[in-house]
Amino acid sequence: MNKNESVLSTSGSKLSIYALLVSAYFFSYFFRVSASVSLPIVSAEWGMSASLVGFISSLYFYAYAFMQPISGALNDRFGPLRIVSFGMLTSGIGALLFGFAANPVMLGTGRLLTGLGLAPMLSGVLVFQSHSFHRDKYSFFSGITYTLGNFGAVISVAPLAFALDRFGRRNVFILLAVLNFVLAASLIILRRRDPVTTAGNTTERSSFIDNLKDSFRKIFKSRQLKLMLILWGTSFGSLMALQGLWAVTWYQSAYGVSYGTASLWSTLISIGVMVGNFAGAYIARPARLRLTAIIVSCVSYGAAWIVFWLSMKSQLPIPVPGIVGFFLGFCAGVTYDHLTAGVNDLAMKGRGGSLFGGMNLFTFISVIIFQSGTGFLVQRFSSSGGAEAQIRAFNSTFGIVTLLVIISLVALPFLKSFSEQRGDVL
């Protein structure tokens, strides 16, 4: 088989490994969003404050963000099968701690370990698909990766709420830990088939430290990448504050619906992200169309936030914010496909995981700020107590979030077209 045939190959073996890595990313999204369902239950049992709930939820993102550049460089250097398998073992331990937690410290430790272990998942999939499939298929596989990964966000809301109510926190998280351990074992068995560590790719591999330094050097020197970070960080941070933490509680406060009903409406946001990821896999694949896709999806995301906030503030019939929430998630999903593909367009060959990891560090710092910040604001604005005060608190807090999303759009006119040349990040 010649080099071109090897690059274009989508053999069953590669697709099987790809499926396992995407399954690992599924758990990454599952655990990051699961806090919006699991933490309110524990908070009600233990009487935790909103700021403490926001802090515990954000511990996942502290660990996840810190490990992003390290994970990307490790995936580039040692291959995703080894790194992701070790991460799954760590996240399984975190799930057990979260399930057996009897106090906030143990709960937070489990959340922290889960974020630490799941940090390499997305960059691992992206590195694998970059080495295994043709470059023209990168945005397609990115869309499929995000679609299946975001299915974890769907499962982690209403279905998780049902499972927690039916079987209890301990049993559910024991099962999740076992699934993590099984997936880790499967990847360890297949580690010799990792395309990054095969003999044919060793000449393209740089040292871990070189990969790490190069990713930060490119980010700090590139106006294009910094503008992308403004858009990506604000978009993802705002989405995680809503989808990953407060959506269920906000629906309950605004409409007085049950926990299960609020979870169902909140799930539409996750479904929207998943559908948007899938649509983004087919929309504007070439790099020359990347900028148009990013502009349209980002502007639409900002408009969706305005309509969603107004409908919640005005307490329009609950299907209205529910449907708008789906559209909000859809626009976010398309945006993330093309921002990810844009990073790959600008990365040197063999350095895609490192550059994406560096970008993701700053993206998840934004998530930490949004989750912790919204927790602080909700508590501050509802300090007077009562149901009406909590409703006003959510309206005020997410009015600020909506404003920040709109302000971030000023970065769009300064973005340049994405070059077909790898490594063009100026």
Say if CB 98 and CB 116 are below 8 A apart: no
pLDDT beyond 70 at 274? yes
Helix (H) or strand (E) holding 354: helix 352-381
What pLDDT score does 2 carry?
41
Structure tokens at 181: 């351990």
Give the span between the Cα atoms of 17 and 24, in whole angstroms: 11
Range in 16-25, 46-55, 329-338, 400-409 the model is least confident about: 46-55
264 versus 9: which is more confidently predicted?
264
pLDDT tier at 401 (50, 70, 90 boundaries)?
A: very high
CA torsion 361→364→366→367, rounded to 10°? -170
pLDDT beyond 80 at 323? yes
What pLDDT score does 138 carry?
76
pLDDT tier at 343 (50, 70, 90 boundaries)?
A: confident
- 29: closest CA among 145, 199, 136, 129? 145
Residues 93-112, mean pLDDT to the nearest whole number? 94
Residues 166-186, mean pLDDT to the nearest whole number? 95
Give the span between the Cα atoms of 93 and 344, in whole angstroms: 32
What number does CATH give the domain 12-191+207-414?
Answer: 1.20.1250.20
Residues 33-38, mean pLDDT to the nearest whole number? 84
List the Cα angle 359/228/396 in 5-degree steps: 100
Return the percentage of the chain with pLDDT > 70, whole number: 91
Provide the angle, in degrees to the nearest 10, between the axes of the packed helices 50-78 and 80-100: 160
Is the dihedral angle over the CA atoms 267, 269, 273, 276 positive or is it negative?
Answer: positive
pLDDT beyond 90 at 20? yes
For the chain, the domains span 12-191+207-414
267 versus 307: which is more confidently predicted?
307
Q: What would the pLDDT profile of 196-208 be if each residue is shown by its tens digit?
A: 877 444 445 566 6
What pLDDT score does 245 carry?
82
How does DSSP assign 172-222, residue by residue?
HHHHHHHHHHHHHHHHHHTGGG-TTSSGGGGGGPPPHHHHHHHHHHHHHH-
Give the span between the Cα atoms of 295 and 413, in whole angstroms: 9
What pLDDT score does 174 carry?
96
What pLDDT score does 32 carry?
81
101 backbone dihedrals φ, ψ, rounded to 5°: -60, 135
pLDDT beyond 50 at 26? yes
Q: What would the pLDDT profile of 360-392 be if each residue is shown by its tens digit?
A: 889 988 988 998 899 889 988 887 667 788 899
What pLDDT score does 236 carry?
94
pLDDT beyond 60 at 123? yes
What pLDDT score does 135 carry?
67
Residues 219-245, mean pLDDT to the nearest whole number? 93
Helix (H) or strand (E) holding 104: helix 104-118
What pLDDT score does 206 carry?
60
Give the span between the Cα atoms of 330 and 168, in whole angstroms: 32
Q: Name the CA radius of gyration of the chain, rounded.
A: 21
Residues 105-113, mean pLDDT to the nearest whole number? 95
Look over the chain and give the mean of its residue pLDDT values, rounded to a whole number.
Answer: 87
